[in-house]
A and B are shown apart, each in its own frame.
Chain A
């Protein structure tokens, strides 16, 4: 039995390592705001959505697979919540009844542990079957149709009855029958659990009047050593059956655990959809394009983390960047450059895990790995100068970059003077583009920003400024201007002072 609600052909691996740059992504794109909103205080959901979102897909089919499942979830919220309770209840009953097979070292105890777990889970599996029987028709996605179909097929009534029957026999109330042979040194070997030939009545009694002589031995009540030895023999003969039962119990348990884990992602998506709906922000299912293409076009793409943090609608941007492999964003300080860069990163990540995105519409090519290189605060350990630190991080990124990756630079290489910084940025970006790596670069380095004249595949965006110097927080297409808007700030502050001084002179 497989859940297969995250991938069409495999379970999600919760142990798979996060990409090496995951911590940077979380910090730079403020992903914890996203995860927290999705989790709504549930640490399990938090952990699952974090892992799923950071483990990007690069296969269009897999993304569409999840998108369709998510559409089903958004249509059948109540059924999803009901199913999600089943594995949670399984874990509760396990905790209450002290069920378990881990850490048991004797087949007898493994067998009885496995038996009890299966008995406890059998009821929940029956409930899951009945949900499938009632609601399966409302689901359209390939993932859910397969899931419900499997439940109905695997857990039919006859099979569930057989399992219950054997779980009873496995209590071995009448003793354990085992065959053996003589091994090396006349030591008993090949212990095989046997099913008695006559199985109607109490079979141990039925055996007594057989042709073969029967020699019996009763242990002295205080013969603890003997009792232990007899227990070991029993263990040896139950080993194989205990293994089968324990593995079955583990499989059912792991099925329930996987169900909880994979549904947790969709539960998170449902939570987020509710929150964004409350803020009046739109969501849309993105259109992913293959990794080889260069696409970036959107309507009303907004920085969701900003909206969630401010608890209000925020300004969205429209971009027409299809066919571009380099986007250079320049312009006014506090004009929305960083916000825009983050909204692109977030949308890219959400698209690549099968989620909806915070926009009216969004389409982009998939990338093989999303990376961020942001300006950081001075290194507290004083071990490396600022430029050294920045370049060290860049080098670590290059170690894991492969073609068709995507990297977001935010004011990188500005820790030295304009000329040298531009030089490094130009070398880095040129090499990356030649290796088919898509680059978005927020920068004040005018010399660098200006060094791609007449190239069709470069898109220039500029933080907009009203004639009166106020910001709209919207980006427009436009070549970099030789001054960034630092002087604005300077003038605002210093001219105000100058006016006061002049007044004083008068």
Chain B
């Protein structure tokens, strides 16, 4: 197997898109993908996350890579490699911006040295890794051949020799007001050390550090450039070698390796993102996916966007289960408000979308159908002044959805028709429900109209629940069950923890 891409198992790579799917906002997937890619801006990863797959083979291909990368040492070596490649890109970008010839060439050489180092280290680490995915195995083979090639070895040796020559240069500058001279270093002793020794007696105790943190970054002014020019005259040989290296090897990065560097970040970004959430005790799993089997079963799943928002709080994230078997297609979610119904609907959509990217999904276990399309209709911000307009708008949108949906699509409807009369809402809902049942598509429908859950064998009723002891307490559990629509003296001392017992407790002997 020759190696093309770590994301695509065959040569047919679809064009990249920067347009996020229409339902991203409703499902809060925009937040999730934003968070995943936030720390990885330089790789432009969003197009990868905007392209769901319906090809079980490619999904398996990605799941294998993702599973390999869950191995901490392998992940660490990929990350080390990525850091070095970032440095290479930064140095090369710097070269474009610099003014002085030997300064540019100096940074070009640094970039090449870091690149060689990165590639060799990665090849070495991969050779020791226990890889199961076919694509990573293929990449390992490609990389090993590349690193062993005579061309690569010659290039690397030359770069190191040029660097060694420059590293041995040592010179002196004599700085006076408005002028300076440059000459060879002639073994003069370190005066700072002598000064430190003389004043040592006066330097005891916790004194402040007066070392000024002086700029040690890229950049060269014309004085430094002039000094460098004099240094090049004092030491002509190493600089001639540098000239030669730069003119002969203007391009040293291999294209396949460059592509791998970007694509592997799709996996790294996702795994880094879910690592924080896993640390909070929330599970992820690799779903079984199918384009034909509509029976689904999911345990311990949660809303990934919500989990991310709650990451640095103590608020627990509630997990939910659901399944569809036999003729069941439509989950009708009803029950008390703010009980987690909308969260459930989002979770349902996220699970299917993330599964179709080849990613592990937020849940303990999952068997999922791969839809051809996902459609969502969530209640938009209500505008009381325009009731009829809104209802009409709702119907237009649903009509549009039903026109495009196929039996392989997923529909997620959240509190539609909430702004009309109950009677109208029941009527309209039944009509729409009828069409969806005819379509045989999978659907989650959040509604206050509980009779929708009893319409046919295709519907399943799930209900948001409250704590039986304290109905005001929400559990955020959505369970599968029929909808059932339905303020003296010693007391003050005690308050201040000043009784005999309390004081003895408070003052430890």
Contact = CB atoms under 8 A, between A and B. Distances in A.
A186 B90 CA distance: 16
B104 to A, nearest CB: 8
B107 A185 contact: yes
B178 A218 contact: yes
Contacts of B220: 185, 187
A181 B227 contact: no
Contact of A241 (B173, B175, B191, B233): B191
Contacts of B504: 431, 434-435
B181 interface: yes
* Residue of A230, A398, A399 contacting most chain B CB atoms (<10 Å): A230
Contacts of A505: none
A34 interface: no
Interface stretch (B344-352, B446-454, B490-498): B490-498
Most chain B beta carbons < 10 A, residue from A106, A185, A227, A236: A185
Interface of A: 1-2, 11, 101, 105-107, 110, 114, 118, 154, 159, 162-163, 166, 170, 174-182, 184-189, 192-197, 204, 207, 210, 212-219, 221, 225-227, 229-230, 232-237, 239-252, 254, 387-388, 391-392, 394-395, 398-399, 401-403, 416, 420-421, 423-424, 427-428, 430-432, 434-437
A400 B218 CA distance: 54
B188 A424 contact: no
B383 interface: no
Given A225-B221, A240-B192, A430 B211 contact: no
Contact of A240 (B202, B211, B493): B211
A432 B188 contact: no
A245 B171 CA distance: 26
Interface residues of B, number: 82
A423 B491 CA distance: 12
Contact of B489 (A114, A188, A387): A387
A163 B198 contact: yes
B195 A245 contact: yes
Interface string B105-142: 11100100000000000000000000000000000000
Looking at chain A's contact residues, the main secondary structure is: helix
Contacts of A437: 507
B202 A1 contact: yes
Interface in B217-252: 218-224, 226-228, 230-231, 233-234
A243 B103 contact: no
Contacts of B171: 179-181
B455 to A, nearest CB: 61
A382 to B, nearest CB: 17
Nearest to A183: B216
A101 B187 CA distance: 33
B182 A233 contact: no
A126 B220 CA distance: 48
Nearest to B165: A182
A163 to B, nearest CB: 7
B38 interface: no
Given A195-B188, A402-B507, A232 B214 contact: yes
A427 B502 CA distance: 10
B146 interface: no
B279 interface: no
